Amino acid sequence: MTKSVNTPLDEAAVESLKSGDLVSISGVVYTARDAAHKKLVELIRNGDELPLELAGQVIYYAGPTPSKPGRPIGSAGPTTSYRMDPYAPLLIEHGLKGMIGKGERSESVVEAMKRHKAVYFAATGGAGVLIARSVLSAEVVAYPELGPEAIRRLEVKDLPAIVAQDCRGGNLYKEGREAYKVG
């Protein structure tokens, strides 16, 4: 059964999710990759204002392609999440509640997720065109000079994902390997 998840996320929503849950995400999510994450962390460390409110937000690690006529966005597949691991704990500490990407997260990110109640969703790599069908609107809200890596505000409906790592330390990557271990 697929769980419906609406953004922004609160602590109760995050706590209701467990690794392995299939989810359908609706609401606002922001795209950002490593260059944008570096800028956000620098702003936090300098005490400067952020271009988006982090509290309850979900960041999708994607660098969408240009949109085709009549579409709000081009292909929007996930990028490898570990590149954001040096930055994610501080963003989580400042209110980020969800992240969408692909691949397992570092121990420092997992500890921040447990401490501050956040969740990591995995999206299917190679399915960027299908994922883009869930995007109703897209607008650049910060760092347009970064091109595809600019921060975009996406309004999404039923974006498909799976809870890969939950706020209690559940880890589908480890659990999945264990379930199919031979011998």
**What amino acid positions are annotated as catalytic residues?**
37
Residue 169 structure tokens = 């330390």
Asked if residue 152 lies in contact with residue 135, where contact means CB atoms within 8 angstroms, the answer is no
φ/ψ (deg, to 5) at 79: -110, 165
Side chain identity at residue 42, one-letter code: E
Q: How far is it, in rounded angstroms, from Cα 92 to Cα 65? A: 27
Asked if residue 160 lies in contact with residue 123, where contact means CB atoms within 8 angstroms, the answer is yes
φ/ψ (deg, to 5) at 8: -70, 155
